[in-house]
Amino acid sequence: MYDLEGFSRFFNQPDVQDYVPVFLNHVSEAMGRCLFGGDDYWMNDKVKQLPLSFRVVHEKFTGDGALYIR
């Protein structure tokens, strides 16, 4: 499980519908690559991130984070 600290304050900004979905998708994508493997796009040279050794059977978006069940 992860939760974004200070998200409520961040969400109370003007025009949130323009940038919050993009931000949350970016965070979700980064967490997915940490858990499930893939290219680390935040690194200068493309480094392969290896998946963790467990299998996730369910993921649930919680609004300002996510819950993964293995």
| pLDDT digits 0-9 by tens, 5-32 | 888 888 888 888 888 888 888 888 888 8
Q: Is the pTM of this model over 0.75?
A: no
Distance CA 62, CA 11 (A): 14
**φ, ψ dihedrals at 38, nearest 5°:** 135, -175
Q: Tell which wins on pLDDT, 32 or 47.
A: 32
Which amino acid is residue 11, in one-letter code? F
The set of residues, in sequence order, having a beta carbon less than 8 Å from that of 7 and lying 6+ positions away, is 63, 64, 65
